[in-house]
Structure 1
Amino acid sequence: MKYQHWKIAFAYIGVIIGAGLSSGQDLLQYFLCFGKMGLLGVLFLGVLNAIFGRIMVTFGCYYRADNHEEVFSQIAHPFFSRILDIVLVIGSFVMGFVMVAGAGSNLNQQFGIPSGIGALICSILIAVVAFLDFDKITSVLGIFTPVIIVMLLSITAYTFIGKSYDFAALDATARTIKPAMNNVFLSVINYYALCAMTGVSMAFILGGTVVRIGIAEKGGTLGGIMVGIIVLAASFSIFANITEVKDADMPMLAIVNNIHPWFAVLYAFTVFSLIFNTAFSLYYSIARRFSGGSTKKMRIIMIAVVAGGYICSFGGFKTLIGVMYPILGYMGVLLLIILFVAWIQKRKDIIVEKFFRRNMLRISLKKQQPDKHVTEKEKELFHSLSEISPAETDALKNDIHETTKQIMENTDDIKKYMDENLSVDDIKIQKNVNEMMDSENQKSEK
């Protein structure tokens, strides 16, 4: 429980850091092609990752989302909600098979394995992991994240410690690369919109796995910040080696091969794992969207999506990024606008709900302690808080009780835990409950 926000953060990074970022191909075509100005664009990209990482995971927690449609139906007009639903399904499928193509390129560049075979290996793994439970899946998504962070920071340190570079010459070489967009500003907006499309569905689902909004906020923010750090480190390393790697499908892998062959092997496996993470998340979000809550149906859809994605992956990784990503990025701008506007509109409600759930957890914890007595007033408050929550009432109650059990099992001093993590203002809580109940009654009368 104590490190749950880190689990969310690492899983979120695993979704975002896929074939493009961990390989460096996205960074070449979107940012480094503009030379030194492109590095400033990467810095701004990191800021957007932190802001929207927090927003997306928090919305998933607030609505206890099982798929992206459940959130969009609440925060957007039905017309825009429907458009976003279609865009995300199409976008997730397209980016999914681009990731699979990246898996093939990765194994081909490092080991000489035919790209089609590498893509097939990745596709089979995706289908197999779909038969695990979600807690295990979340663990899989985050397991390689610390590894790639250490690797990228090590590569950056190796690249710059004790060495100097002619940045004017590097800038001139970088500008010979064909850009995906016309200028840096468009690249930042377009590329982050693409990242949001990659991560939003799974970010909602990740947020929906936790009850406490504070944990979701912290996990999303940490995940976004670390994505920014990873991207910045990779960008500086590629820029310093731009002459040697500008034509490679996997620029980062080309750099690593110059450091040590065994390090390159380890990096190739790690990149493959991250590609798998992203591809799995994209396909999984599609399957969850159309499964209607049925695990069996979800797995059947997953297998069909994986098979279709494998066929489409033969378009070639580098070509697919140059052609498909800008189009998907423009489609994702609408997503960013809707998310940001909804965040401003819902911010007060989210803060209120955060303290409501804290109070529910306090009451539930009190009920589990033999030496404590839950009053009728507290029982009524627990019921009222669950009724006015944006989450489904019975599901929220069950999840509150499950979270309580986990806290009881993993905490020695319950009172200390409550004081440090579940502080509330009872008077303010009751006032907010009364206001919201009055508002609901007025709506019913109308």
Structure 2
Amino acid sequence: MSKQPFLIAMTFMSIIIGGGFASGQEVLQFFTGYGAIGIAGTLVSGLLFAFLGMQIARMSSTMQASSHKEVLEALFGKRAGLVIDLVLSFFLFGVGVVMLAGSGSIFAQQYGLPPLFGGVLLSVLVILTLCLRVRGIINLISLIMPVLLLLVLTITVYSFFTSSASLETLEAAAAEVPTISDGWSFSHWFIGALLYASFNIAVGFPMLSVIGGLTRDTREASLGGILGGVGLGVLIFLLNIGLFANLERLAGVDMPSLMLATAVSPVVAMVMSVALICMIYSTAVGMFFAFSARFAAPESGRFKLFSVIFTLVGLVLSQFGFSTLIGTVYPMLGVVGLILIVALGIRWYSTRQRSKAQLASSASR
């Protein structure tokens, strides 16, 4: 087997495991805040990621799609696909803004620097990266993943085994944590799990469509999507239990995983802050790439100009704050993701039915 499935899986995971995930803020609001039952939510999200990753990668590979717009058109038709594309592009830009805000929070929490410093630094790195060729961006993002993954896992597992808080204390702390469905008519862990998968699949959809389109072997593309989804599920599960085990001291913290790293040692905290910046960077690149590609062909002069303009506008908007932006942008993007999930599910079901009909027709001859 070639390395392509692993490249797809690593890139898929890297785009989704950005600042919100690696910081622990996403997992805190979507899973940990529901208490121990949030663990069930991580399993639901993991299964959804595996199925959706497989379906998107397979579709784009079959079509040899050059952008996510072609896949959207196949799912919704020309007019509806255009509407979904415009809405999705708008919210992808919002996620890019969240990443710039996350960089600012890291430098403020860990180094005592103004949030604007971290935002400016990341903006410069994003702009420079978007001047690379598309395959260069994909390779760069996928290479970052394994090293950073190991660091996050080490810290969260260590934190879990060194926790001494009782289950009652942790459940009480969870009741004080804002969850993503607070303010709805009812709050439930399954809603958190479904919204997490839906908004993240919307985030990963454009880049996964491009990678799938670059893969000629449909089976390899499908396997890459499945591996990436399973990997995401495992990571969400581990980070969730690490956060839950230490929840009594994480209330009101913008970067929970950085707080856990600080408890291990100052050196680990410094390394973790660099890792978080790299993870935020990988997602920011993916988001601003997808948004800029909506208005100009990648690698063109116009694309580079738009990349600079959009990133600078995002820097200005990022000053509203990291936690606030996550709680605002992500639920709305989750609604777009839910529409994608339904469309992908219908497409999968209709494809299976056609395959069964063709097999039955062949057998009757």
TM > 0.5 fold call: yes
Offset of residue 20 of structure 1: 1.0
Residue of structure 2 in register with 1:256 after alignment: 261
Residue of structure 2 in register with 1:45 after alignment: 45
Offset of residue 128 of structure 1: 0.3
Aligned to 1:238, which of 243, 250, 257?
243
1:68 touches 1:289 (CA, 8 Å); kept in 2?
A: no
Residue of structure 1 in register with 2:21 after alignment: 21
Change (3 A) 1:212 1:347: farther
Question: After the TM superposition, which segments of 4 or more aligned residues of structure 1 sit over 6 Å from their partners?
Answer: 348-351
Amino acid at match of 1:259: V
Offset of residue 223 of structure 1: 0.9
Residue of structure 1 in register with 2:95 after alignment: 95
Please show how residues 92-131 of structure 1 align to structure 2 within 5 Å. 92-131=92-131
Aligned to 1:315, which of 313, 320, 339?
320
The Cα offsets for residues 318-374 of structure 1, whole Å up to 9 and x where unpaired, read as 1111222212212321111112212222358899xxxxxxxxxxxxxxxxxxxxxxx
Query: Distance between the aligned counterparts of 2:167 and 2:17, measured in 1?
Result: 27
Query: Distance between the aligned counterparts of 2:223 and 2:135, measured in 1?
Result: 19
Q: Percentage identity across aligned positions?
A: 29
Please show how residues 5-404 of structure 1 align to structure 2 within 5 Å. 5-161=5-161, 164-181=164-181, 182-292=187-297, 295-346=300-351
Amino acid at match of 1:289: R
Offset of residue 159 of structure 1: 2.5
Identify which of structures 1 and 2 has the higher relative contact order when contacts are C-alpha pairs closer than 8 Å and 6+ apart: 2
Query: Distance between the aligned counterparts of 1:137 and 1:306, measured in 2?
Result: 16
TM-score, length of structure 1 as denominator length: 0.75
Offset of residue 162 of structure 1: 6.6
Amino acid at match of 1:265: M
Offset of residue 217 of structure 1: 0.9
Query: Distance between the aligned counterparts of 1:31 and 1:157, measured in 2?
Result: 17
Offset of residue 274 of structure 1: 0.9
The Cα offsets for residues 138-165 of structure 1, whole Å up to 9 and x where unpaired, read as 1211122112321232123312447654
Amino acid at match of 1:322: G
Amino acid at match of 1:26: E
Amino acid at match of 1:331: V
SS at match of 1:66: coil
Structure 2 unpaired stretches of 5+: 182-186
Offset of residue 58 of structure 1: 1.8
Query: Distance between the aligned counterparts of 2:153 and 2:224, measured in 1?
Result: 21
The Cα offsets for residues 369-425 of structure 1, whole Å up to 9 and x where unpaired, read as xxxxxxxxxxxxxxxxxxxxxxxxxxxxxxxxxxxxxxxxxxxxxxxxxxxxxxxxx
SS at match of 1:60: helix
Q: Which moved more, 1:341-350 or 1:238-247?
A: 341-350
Query: Distance between the aligned counterparts of 1:101 and 1:321, measured in 2?
Result: 10
Query: Distance between the aligned counterparts of 2:59 and 2:268, measured in 1?
Result: 39
Amino acid at match of 1:327: M
SS at match of 1:192: helix
Query: Distance between the aligned counterparts of 1:320 and 1:160, measured in 2?
Result: 28
Change (3 A) 1:177 1:162: closer
TM-score, length of structure 2 as denominator length: 0.91
1:66 touches 1:288 (CA, 8 Å); kept in 2?
A: no
Amino acid at match of 2:99: M
Change (3 A) 1:307 1:350: farther
Amino acid at match of 1:159: S
SS at match of 2:323: helix
The Cα offsets for residues 88-115 of structure 1, whole Å up to 9 and x where unpaired, read as 1111011110111111112221122211
Query: Distance between the aligned counterparts of 1:95 and 1:251, measured in 2?
Result: 19
Higher-Rg structure is 1
Structure 1 unpaired stretches of 5+: 352-427, 432-446
Offset of residue 265 of structure 1: 1.2
Residue of structure 2 in register with 1:365 after alignment: none
The Cα offsets for residues 112-137 of structure 1, whole Å up to 9 and x where unpaired, read as 22111101111111110111112221
Please show how residues 429-440 of structure 1 align to structure 2 within 5 Å. none
Residue of structure 2 in register with 1:382 after alignment: none
Query: Distance between the aligned counterparts of 1:163 and 1:33, measured in 2?
Result: 17
Offset of residue 190 of structure 1: 1.6
Query: Distance between the aligned counterparts of 2:66 and 2:254, measured in 1?
Result: 36
How many residues of Structure 1 are paired with residues of Structure 2 in the alignment?
353
1:283 touches 1:305 (CA, 8 Å); kept in 2?
A: yes
Amino acid at match of 1:34: Y
Offset of residue 310 of structure 1: 0.9
1:39 touches 1:235 (CA, 8 Å); kept in 2?
A: yes
Query: Distance between the aligned counterparts of 2:156 and 2:327, measured in 1?
Result: 26
Query: Distance between the aligned counterparts of 2:212 and 2:354, measured in 1?
Result: 17
Aligned residues: CA RMSD? 2.0
SS at match of 1:248: coil
Offset of residue 2 of structure 1: 2.3
